[in-house]
Amino acid sequence: MSEHFTYKPEGVCSRLMEFDIQDGTIESFKVVGGCNGNLKGIGSLLKGMKVEDVIGRLEGTTCGPRPTSCPDQISRALKSYLASNQ
């Protein structure tokens, strides 16, 4: 059975990120706010990926002059998920 996880990102346009994760694999990803088309595309790419792999690929991505981005916030969300499930 998958686990539903929500995260409130900081420093970006998106307001809420929702994940369904089963056995360390992302089953679905949705975002409230942000760049709708880009985040739908990212959600499609994340489906079936291992949480650790997503963190490794997205961590540290910036958006213009901002020190973070939606992809970086996804990695932070997933780090938080892993920390809460240890």
In the predicted model, what is the mean pLDDT of the chain?
96
Quick check: 66 and 12 in contact, CB under 8 A?
A: yes
pLDDT tops 90 at residue 1: no
Return the bridge partners of 66, or none. 63
Segment 3-39, tens digit of pLDDT:
999 999 999 999 999 999 999 999 999 999 999 999 9
Determine what percent of the chain falls in helix, strand and coil, rounding each to the nearest 5: 40, 30, 30
pLDDT at 27: 98
CA distance 51 to 26: 7
Identify the residue with better confidence: 14 or 1.
14
pLDDT tops 90 at residue 74: yes
Kindly state the average pLDDT of the residues 50-64.
97
| Segment (H or E) for 3 | strand 3-7
- For 32-51, b/e burial (b = at least 16 CB within 10 A) is eebeeeebeebbeebeeeeb
